[in-house]
Amino acid sequence: MSSKRNFVALKSIMYKEIHRFIRIWVQTLVPPAITISLYFVIFGSLIGARIGEMGGFDYMSFIVPGLIMMSVITNSYSNVASSFFSAKWQRNVEEMLVAPVPNWVIVAGYVGGGMARGILVGLIVTLVSLFFVEIQIHNIWVIIITVSLTSATFALGGLINAIFAGSFDDISIIPTFVLTPLTYLGGVFYSISLLPDFWQGVSQINPIVYMVNAFRYGFLGISDVSLTVSFGVLFVFIVSLFAIAMTLITKGIGLRS
């Protein structure tokens, strides 16, 4: 009885979340397609032709996985951060808090919604990239696992950000000052093997390096880091962030008086 109720509650939260970002598709689904088209035109067609090959592939093919992953990361994070913070701000999060919904269902529901947007945007960006480059697939399972784990990781990050946030400014600080630099320095546009040794070492503490490289391996079969290490990093991040999110919601931080 309780598991059926939890399943229906999980479906309801996910339905609400997916319905939300589809209802505002002009704000959520169109901008990534436009942004990514500009990246392809500028970095791929205009500058990329002068760069030549990277990792044995033409520059455009090299950056495609990273650009898709960048969209997945940004959208998974911002979906949960803005949706959960709005629910807090409008106080409609209380609809869930007064209901017999276990905390793990709330976390799973929001993360599921964030993953759905991240993966849908990833698909849209992939479709857009087909206009610019021929995409090859080396290992579809690596692609599926990496995109799922990465979107879950950043959806959890967005949830934690929203729990602590006290204003709309607070949900834009992390994406602007942390996520964007880490993504740009995470090997989206270059192979970290091109960096001096010191900066290669520094790059290895950037978790996005592992996600981008695992994803690139799925498409091109090349990676700057071991696939096992990449999956291990993703696993550790998901478990840690889930534990943090659960603790915060259970304690009612920012939610209960």
Partner 1 sequence: MLKALEISALKKVYKGGFEALKGIDLTVNEGDFFALLGPNGAGKSTTIGVITSLVNKTSGQVKVFGHDLDTELEAAKSYIGLVPQEFNFNQFESLTTILVNQAGYYGVERSLAHKRAEKYLKQLDLWEKRHAAARMLSGGMKRRLMIARALMHEPKMLILDEPTAGVDIELRRSMWDFLRELNQQGITIILTTHYLEEAEMLCRNIAIIDSGLIVENTTMKALLSKLDVETFVLDHAETSVSPSLDGFSYRILDEHSLEIDVKKSQNINQVFTQLTDQKIDVKSMRNKSNRLEELFVTLVSNGLGNNNEKSSDKPEAGAN
Interacting residue ranges for partner 1, rule: CB under 8 A: 2, 4-6, 8-9, 11-13, 15-16, 19, 23, 86-87, 90-92, 94-102, 252, 256-257
Between residues 48 and 113, which has the closer beta carbon with respect to partner 1? 113
For residues 79 and 121, is the Cβ–Cβ distance under 8 A?
no
- Residue 120 CB, nearest approach to partner 1 (Å): 20
Minimum Å distance from CB 251 to partner 1? 8
Cβ distance to partner 1 smaller for residue 53 or 95: 95
| 138 vs 256, beta carbon nearer partner 1 | 256
* Both tokens assigned to 192: 């970290």
* CB nearer to partner 1: pick between 107 and 214: 107
C-alpha distances out from residue 66 to 24, 91, 121, 136, 165, Å: 26, 37, 14, 14, 29
Return the exposure string of 49-88: e unless at least 16 CB atoms fall within 10 Å of the residue's CB, then b. Answer: eebeebbebebbbbbbbbbbbbbbbbbbbbbbbbbbbebb
Residue with tokens 């498409």: 219
* CB-CB contact of 96 with 13 (8 Å): yes
With respect to partner 1, which residue has the nearer C-beta, 24 or 41?
Answer: 24
Query: Smallest gap, in angstroms, from Cβ of residue 2 to partner 1?
Result: 7
The position carrying tokens 């995470």 is 186
Q: Report in angstroms how near the CB of residue 164 gets to partner 1 at its nearest.
A: 16
Q: How far is the CB of 85 from partner 1 (least distance, A)?
A: 13
Least separation in angstroms between residue 162's CB and partner 1 is 15
Q: Measuring CA to CA, which residue among 63, 74, 37 is closest to residue 220? A: 63
CB burial of 17-27 (b: ≥16 within 10 Å; e: otherwise) equals bbebbeeeeee
What is residue 255's three-state secondary structure?
coil
Q: Report in angstroms how near the CB of residue 100 gets to partner 1 at its nearest.
A: 4
- Taking the least distance from each CB to partner 1, the nearer of 143 and 255 is 255
If phi > 0 it is left, if psi is from -120 to 50 it is alpha, else beta; for residue 165 that is: beta
Measured from the CB atom, the residue of 55 and 102 that comes closer to partner 1 is 102
Distance CA 209, CA 247 (A): 28
